[in-house]
Amino acid sequence: MKVTKDMLTEKQKECVNFSSHRDLIVQGVAGSGKSLVVINRALQIYEKTKEKGKRAKIAVFTYANSLVKYTHEVLENGGEEASSDIKVSTLDSEILSLYRKIVGHSTNGVYNNYSRELDDVVLELERQYPDSRFFKKEKREFLMDEIKWMKQHIMKRFSDYETCVRKGRGATRVTKDDRRIIYDVYEKFYEKLKFKNARTIDVIAEELVKKVIPEYCQYDFVLVDEAQDLTLSKMIIAKSLARVSITVSADFAQKIYKTGFTWKEAGIEIRGQASKKLQGTHRNTKQIAALANSLTEANTEIKRYDEEDFTVPELPKREGPLPQLIYENSYRQEQEDIITLIKEIRSNKPESTIALLGRDKTYIGKMQTWLNRASIPYQLIDKNNDYKVLEPGVKVVKYHSSKGLEFNYVIMPFIDDGIFPYTKYAADDDDDSVEDLMNEARSLMYVGMTRARDMLYMFAVDGVDGNPSPLIEDLDGSMMEVKNY
């Protein structure tokens, strides 16, 4: 895919040409061209400063390693000289590098699981708060996410948490009394980590927020792609890295994690024309977009967003076949039919990209086994592997890593109960928790569905091996072809 300005719509050009000396927020639905805008804006800034005999220091930060590789591919395929002068990395990588430079401490173990430490804290506090529902085992994941969110918001005292709006934290109710208990957990947990000299990515980000970023670490222009799942502390750092301006793209309909922040909290003041919305998708067919939108309409978390954070989707004009939902009577039959489908696509459309999407490493491994047994070559889109997103062929990728990417054909196996929503470790069946699980699954499915340019296939088991996902009921039946085998 060559990056040329004639690929852009008038609205996209308006974003690219917006003053480089002002902060800019670009919002739009999946496939509306947000990443294309970010890349072209970075290139234009580079070219204009070069014309003046200057050299701008430009950084593009993305949400995931897969999007870093994709951005590099797009720049390299365009044959742009700027591809070597524009830094592209994940924001996490930049933060860890910055921490080592400024603070001088090791960043080993920042993504370690500290669930045992949380268990110890809960055990200590249970004597003080014996009736707290948040000390139940099934609430442990929520509790960990909540105290992480508090650290991401750099909370220093109970009053910070007592009165705050828990934006993006889902449907789970937290009363004033609950907040007192949770804040005690927060304090004791991070005290325990400090005693062990352990640092999470959120602890590191908090430390950096308190520092003055040296000029040699800053960039003239910072651009952040797929920002909706970043945390507040990370966005504050991204803003502080920009000497001149920051450009941010986001789509809150694709939000997977319960992070949540406002642009104002991040220090990004958006006034007048500095907030742009890209209407419509240029990736999907009308049929794929309509089906994905029907799933979004059932997402109650999206309904809680401010109007300024949500872009009302417009259906594209490009027509295509109806997406297919295939019910299988067993996992073995599902495997056989998917392998047959992939062989047919590769034979009929050899220049196409085909994505097999998986919920986690367990399902990624299952699909790799299928392909290996069938002797079908594929590329695993993973930070530890070498791959080319734009190269024709089969790609195996997690839903979380697929954000910002696109493929001609998308195949979504395992649209089953227990996977969508994901209830592998969940035992909490109160209404709020169930609603959060359903919304998380809807967002993830929406991300997967909207990766497809030309055709979407979804597979669900309805038999002795399992039951179809309840989310299938959210889909507009008139916008898909249902097959039973």
Rounded-to-integer distance, Cα 450 and Cα 404, Å: 10
HSE-up of 331 (CA within 13 Å, CB side)?
11
pLDDT at res. 79: 54
CATH of domain 10-103+203-278: 3.40.50.300
Query: Per-residue pLDDT for 362 more than 80?
Result: yes
pLDDT (mean) for 5-25: 88
pLDDT at res. 189: 97
Tell whether 461 is in a known binding site. no
272: left (phi over 0), alpha (psi -120 to 50) or beta: left
CATH of domain 286-484: 3.40.50.300
Query: Per-residue pLDDT for 27 more than 60?
Result: yes
pLDDT (mean) for 95-110: 92
Query: Per-residue pLDDT for 390 more than 60?
Result: yes
pLDDT (mean) for 37-51: 91
Residue 269: C-alpha distances to residues 230, 241, 335 (Å): 18, 16, 51
Q: What is the DSSP string of 214-271?
A: PGGG-EEEEEESSGGGS-HHHHHHHHHTEEEEEEEEE-GGG--SS----TTTTT----
Which residue blocks in 256-315 are alpha helix, DSSP H?
Answer: 286-296
pLDDT winner (highest mean) among 60-69, 198-207, 275-284: 198-207
200: left (phi over 0), alpha (psi -120 to 50) or beta: beta
Rounded-to-integer distance, Cα 125 and Cα 102, Å: 36
User: How many whole angstroms from its chain centre is CA 206?
Assistant: 21
Question: Does residue 409 or residue 81 have the better pLDDT?
Answer: 409
pLDDT (mean) for 217-222: 97
Ranges of each domain in the chain: 10-103+203-278, 114-198, 286-484
pLDDT (mean) for 38-59: 91
pLDDT (mean) for 445-473: 96
136: left (phi over 0), alpha (psi -120 to 50) or beta: beta
Counting residues of the chain whose pLDDT is more than 70, the rounded percentage is 91
Query: Per-residue pLDDT for 4 more than 80?
Result: no
Tell whether 34 is in a known binding site. yes
Tell whether 35 is in a known binding site. yes
Judge if 10-103+203-278 and 286-484 fold alike in CATH terms: yes
Task: Give the pLDDT confidence of 131-160 residue by residue, as tens digits.
Answer: 999 999 989 999 999 999 999 999 999 999
Question: Does residue 445 or residue 1 have the better pLDDT?
Answer: 445
Tell whether 31 is in a known binding site. yes
pLDDT at res. 226: 87
Q: Quick one: pLDDT band at residue 271, thresholds 50, 70, 90?
A: low
Task: Give the pLDDT confidence of 344-356 residue by residue, as tens digits.
Answer: 999 999 999 999 9
Grouping H, G, I as helix, E, B as strand and the rest as coil, residue 483 is strand
Contacts of 396 (CB under 8 A, 6+ apart): 355, 356, 358, 364, 367, 368, 371, 378, 379, 380, 381
Query: Per-residue pLDDT for 308 more than 70?
Result: no
Question: Does residue 47 or residue 256 have the better pLDDT?
Answer: 47
Task: Give the pLDDT confidence of 401-453 residue by residue, as tens digits.
Answer: 998 899 999 999 999 999 999 875 454 556 667 888 899 999 999 999 999 99
pLDDT at res. 404: 85
Query: Per-residue pLDDT for 6 more than 70?
Result: no
pLDDT at res. 253: 64
Whether residue 107 contacts residue 96, with contact meaning beta carbons closer than 8 Å, is answered with: yes
pLDDT at res. 257: 58
Tell whether 402 is in a known binding site. no
Question: Does residue 321 or residue 64 have the better pLDDT?
Answer: 321
Please, what is the Cα angle at 464 between 458 and 466, to 5 degrees? 45
Question: What average pLDDT does the chain have?
Answer: 89
Task: Give the pLDDT confidence of 329-339 residue by residue, as tens digits.
Answer: 999 999 999 99
Query: Per-residue pLDDT for 114 more than 60?
Result: yes
Query: Per-residue pLDDT for 361 more than 60?
Result: yes
Q: Quick one: pLDDT band at residue 256, thresholds 50, 70, 90?
A: low
Q: What is the DSSP string of 392-449?
A: SEEEEEEHHHHTT--EEEEEE---BTBTTTB-SS----SHHHHHHHHHHHHHHHHHHH
Tell whether 48 is in a known binding site. no
Tell whether 30 is in a known binding site. yes
Q: Quick one: pLDDT band at residue 9, thresholds 50, 70, 90?
A: confident
Grouping H, G, I as helix, E, B as strand and the rest as coil, residue 152 is helix
Query: Per-residue pLDDT for 2 more than 60?
Result: no
Query: Per-residue pLDDT for 358 more than 90?
Result: yes
Question: Does residue 431 or residue 12 have the better pLDDT?
Answer: 12
Tell whether 33 is in a known binding site. yes
pLDDT at res. 255: 61
Q: Quick one: pLDDT band at residue 258, thresholds 50, 70, 90?
A: low
